[in-house]
Amino acid sequence: MKHNTKRLAAAALTAVLAVGAMTGCGTSGGQGEVTQNGNETLFTYDGVDVTLKKAWIYGKMTAAQYESSYSSYFGENFWTMSMGTDEEGNTTTFEDYAKEQIIARIKQIIVLNNHAEEAGASLTEDEQTQCEEYAAAFAEDTSGAAILAECGATEDDMVEIYEENALAAKVQEYMIKDTDTNVSDDEARETTITRVVFATTTTDDEGNTVDMSDEEKAQVLATAQSALAKVQAGTDIADVAEEQEYTNTTETFAAGESEEGEEFEQLLSTMNDGDITQEVQECDNGYVIARLDAYTDTDATESNRQSIIAERQQTKFTEVYDGWTADLEEEWNYDEDVNQELWAELVLHEDTAAESTTAAGAADTTAASDTTTAAATTEAGAADTTAAADTTTAADTTTAAATTAAGN
């Protein structure tokens, strides 16, 4: 549960920073409503000082997105739920985890910007102008203006944030440019079947899975054989599934991932699309009859191909990024290097319901989502992986607006 929570949290933060964090959407809620220390240095990384007001802006947008998207998953008090314990045995809350991730993403922006010259990356005048326009829209928006006022930030601060993110997007493209994007059909293949499974296990009163007796299995096999005969005689397999009160009829899977096991997959490779299994097959979870709908499901295969490419790009990004930050991370300590007393002024969770996204913020988000770079595509494919919880690409830190600016 904790592992899945971290994956969902990382995905949510990705959405915040890659879709709407800097476009005025969301609210300025939370208990840390005002700070007089916005210009104070919160931490220094790779030679760059980061003020509280910059982290405050990221934090406020993160809180709004979490509140709107994840309270339904974890309940209204999800900010205080335990995510485990630290090295000293103290409970780490969801809010603690989120705040540390915000710092991590700001660090990524710094590192990528510091390698912009190596990457040959810079912003054009048009891109700079577009960043200024986004910043102006943010400052004019009710929620955006409130956030700036809370931490003493200005429109110029927002211009800087947009420009740094747009530049980071370009540097990421440089980092992943050597990724092998050739994925064969065999590697990408997704197969779709319609099946009926006749289970040979039951569940006892304590929820444990129990194998049926040989006599019971024989009865199940006879039922499956009778059902197969109907299908072979022309009855639609979906109708047979309905008769058996079996609802999970469609399965799409990549190689080695079928619920029915490896031998069943090997059988499918000898069949043609539209074929019905000639015999009842014994599989990992019972007996199965199936129709092969598409050995190579075109849409699913292409989607899987893009996911594989995204994973490769994620791996490449991590390889380059870890090389750039090895010495920095050896000396980095979140608890010691971040001014925790200052950081504590920002409390992400809200006590009251937040207002909905403003029209100006929604308009910015819509405009920003019209154009995306390969960086955003990479993150879309990788956001649901375990790596998203621990190592993120620069797309995590790149807002859609800034990404659009970088792409124009």
Burial class, 89, CB count within 10 angstroms (exposed 0-12 / middle 13-18 / buried 19+)? exposed
Q: CB of 327 within 8 A of CB of 237? A: no
373 within a domain of the structure (yes/no): yes
Distant-in-sequence contacts of 331-336, Cβ < 8 A, 24+ apart? 332/45, 334/100, 334/103
For the chain, the three-class secondary structure string (H helix, E strand, C coil) is CHHHHHHHHHHHHHHHHHHHCCCCCCCCCCCCCCCCCCCCEEEEECCEEEEHHHHHHHHHHHHHHHHHHHHHHHCCCHHHCEEEECCCCCEEEHHHHHHHHHHHHHHHHHHHHHCHHHHCCCCCHHHHHHHHHHHHHHHHCHHHHHHHHHHCCCHHHHHHHHHHHHHHHHHHHHHCCCCCCCCCHHHHCEEEEEEEEEECEEECCCCCEEECCHHHHHHHHHHHHHHHHHHHCCCCHHHHHHHCCCCCCEEEEECCCCCCCHHHHHHHCCCCCCCECCCCEEECCEEEEEEEEECCCHHHHHHHHHHHHHHHHHHHHHHHHHHHHHHHHHHCCHHHHCCHHHHCCCCCCCCCCCCCCCHHHHHHHHHHHCCCCHHHHHHHHHCCCCHHHHCCCHHHHCCHHHHHHHHC
Q: CB of 108 within 8 A of CB of 379? A: no
185 within a domain of the structure (yes/no): no
Say if residue 139 is in the same domain as residue 77. Answer: yes
Say if residue 6 is in the same domain as residue 98. Answer: yes
State how far the Cα of 363 lies from the Cα of 338, in Å rounded to an integer: 35
Say if residue 220 is in the same domain as residue 102. Answer: no
Range of the structural domain that residue 49 is part of: 2-180+303-407
Residue after which a domain boundary falls, among 256, 276, 295: 295
Nearest CA-CA partner of 399 in 13, 10, 5, 8: 13
Per-residue pLDDT of the chain (408 residues; tens, 9 = 90+): 444 444 444 443 443 344 334 444 444 444 557 899 999 999 999 999 999 999 999 888 878 888 888 788 888 788 888 888 888 888 899 999 999 999 999 999 999 999 999 999 999 999 999 999 999 999 999 989 999 999 999 999 999 999 999 999 999 999 999 999 999 999 999 999 999 999 999 888 888 989 999 999 999 999 999 999 999 999 999 999 999 999 889 999 999 999 998 999 999 999 999 999 999 999 877 999 999 999 999 999 999 999 999 999 999 999 999 999 999 999 999 999 999 999 999 998 765 444 333 333 333 433 333 333 333 333 333 333 333 333 333 334 334 555 555 555
State how far the Cα of 96 lies from the Cα of 102, in Å rounded to an integer: 10
Residue after which a domain boundary falls, among 295, 317, 349: 295
Say if residue 236 is in the same domain as residue 128. Answer: no
Residue after which a domain boundary falls, among 295, 319, 336: 295
CA distances from 332 to 95, 102, 219, 326, 360 (A): 21, 15, 64, 10, 39
Say if residue 175 is in the same domain as residue 314. Answer: yes
Say if residue 327 is in the same domain as residue 291. Answer: no
Say if residue 155 is in the same domain as residue 29. Answer: yes
Say if residue 245 is in the same domain as residue 354. Answer: no
Say if residue 162 is in the same domain as residue 52. Answer: yes
329 within a domain of the structure (yes/no): yes
Say if residue 150 is in the same domain as residue 13. Answer: yes
- 243: domain CATH number? 3.10.50.40
In this prediction, residue 90 carries a pLDDT of 86
Q: Domain count of the chain?
A: 2
